Chain A
């Protein structure tokens, strides 16, 4: 496991517990937004579609899940004041897509740039993912990496900390329109999930 620096002080307030998103978040005008899956418009240079399927421990699709992604822009920048390198992008970086009856979700986005870490490492291009669904009392977090970033992936500290046999669950695959990334909640090829 990779170490992460710890805050020095004890929190003063207890945090509010997580609860399941439940089965009804997708009511009309609810959490899914019409433009939720589209981080960029179709005519954006280098835009691609990332598709996937959310599958449960019986191998059945999860038709009531919500997938959210968060990522840097193509140059590895965030529109966020806590990025000490400065805010030089207006990229939304966030996408949200409810799964359909077949457990499928999709996003239109661009490949993020690699990122420096406070420890002097470089993270390979990646997308952070939150998985929410009925039957999940807390969110699950995973990361999407790109299959053709061989060198960057080999140097990535997060991938490196994952046993080799399971690393492939964090790699998207090429497909017709871009990339495919399935999320398996259980089973032999269970996706690697993270706490953070």
Chain B
């Protein structure tokens, strides 16, 4: 890259800049969630500038998505037990722009609150017709859609008589390493919210609400399935030339 006599670069490598959104997120150290104790760094985090590696990211495509991956109710011989639901929405960035062609991955417990995972010791039945894993790509409007069954709540050992509210785990890539997000979608009015340290780890009540889907009458399938709407918002970017280079310099 060329530089002029003042040491400033002359041909611009213009990259998008992703807005910080720290206030949306839980603290890594959240004592009420006991497992954070040995898994949160004790030293201050360093600021990583958003350079080429950070503003790019894996553009995983349709090769990751099988024909039935978006419909968790048709992945086996028979139908899973439970309340059939459609979960759909959009993946947007914080500028309100849709995030198209991005991989959305979900995983969840079955209707009885049991995961098909060897580590899940909850004495609730497995469902031979339910794997609890889904994948799809967003369309050009950022829309995604899954058909599944409503997951059950399940107990865990964080505190006395602890139960996780019903939830579906979501994994999102967006288009940049900066946008990677793992979250959980909750259901409206769940009576278990008050005692769940994972849900409560998001301190801002408005941010918390952004993890709760809403009942979506328009997307229901009459005489077949109820529906919920869940929009996911990733960090937004603007291609910003560095016009304030002087006051932004290290010194």
Q: Interface of A with B (CB < 8 Å)? A: 1-31, 33, 56-58, 60, 62, 64, 68, 70-72, 76, 78-80, 82-85, 92-94, 115-120, 123, 126, 128, 130, 132-141, 143, 157-158, 161-162, 166, 185-186, 190-196
Pick 25 A–B contacts, CB within 8 A, sort by A.
A5-B17, A7-B238, A15-B24, A17-B207, A17-B210, A18-B181, A18-B183, A19-B201, A22-B184, A24-B109, A29-B133, A56-B38, A58-B38, A70-B53, A118-B9, A118-B13, A118-B242, A120-B8, A135-B35, A137-B25, A137-B201, A139-B182, A186-B39, A186-B42, A190-B42
Closest CB-CB distance, B104 to chain A, in whole Å? 12
Partner of B52, one of A3, A13, A68, A78: A78
Q: A17-B24, A193-B46 are in contact. List 5 more A-B contacts (CB 8 A).
A: A15-B21, A18-B182, A29-B131, A31-B171, A80-B56
**CB atoms of A16 and B233 under 8 A apart:** yes
5 smallest A-B Cβ distances: which pairs? A135-B35, A120-B9, A94-B58, A11-B94, A194-B48
B contact patch SS = loop
Given A31-B107, A62-B39, A80 contacting B17 (CB threshold 8 A):
no
B237 surroundings in chain A (CB, below 8 A) = 7
Q: Which residues of B contact A138 (CB under 8 A)?
A: 25-26, 28
CB distance from B13 to the nearest CB of A (A): 5
Cα A16 to Cα B176 in complex, Å, equals 16
Residues of A near B120 (CB, < 8 A) are: 23-24
Q: How far is the CB of A17 from chain B (nearest CB, A)?
A: 4
Chain A's closest residue to B206 (CB) is A14
What residues of chain B lie closer than 8 Å to A70, measured between beta carbons? 53, 56-58, 177
Residues in chain A near residue B28, CB distance under 8 A:
136-138, 140
| Known interface pairs A11-B94, A22-B169, A28-B133; A117-B202 also in contact (CB < 8 Å) | no
Cα-based distance from A8 to B64 in the complex (angstroms): 36
B residues bordering A, Cβ < 8 Å? 1, 3, 7-9, 12-22, 24-28, 30, 33, 35-43, 45-60, 64, 92-96, 105, 107, 109, 115-117, 119-120, 131-133, 169, 171, 175-178, 180-184, 198-199, 201-202, 206-208, 210-211, 232-238, 240, 242, 244-245, 248-250
Chain A neighbourhood of B43, CB < 8 A: 166, 190, 192-193
Determine the chain B residues whose CB is within 8 A of the CB of A193 once the complex forms: 41, 43, 45-46
Q: Is the CB of B49 within 8 A of A157?
A: yes
The answer for the CA separation of A70 and B181 in the assembled complex, in Å, is 15
Q: A116-B1, A133-B39, A137-B26 are in contact. Are A4 and B240 (CB under 8 A)?
A: no
Separation in Å of the B182 CB from the closest CB of chain A?
A: 5
Find chain A residues with CB under 8 A from B105 CB.
31
Within 8 Å by CB of B46, from A1, A10, A116, lies A1
A78 and B55 alpha carbons, distance in the complex (Å): 10
Are B233 and A128 in touch, CB under 8 angstroms?
no
A120 touches B7 (CB 8 A): yes
Choose from A3, A27, A117, A185 the contact partner of B38 (Cβ within 8 Å).
Answer: A185
Do B180 and A139 have beta carbons less than 8 Å apart? Answer: yes
CB contact under 8 A between A24 and B176, given known A16-B232, A70-B57, A118-B14: no
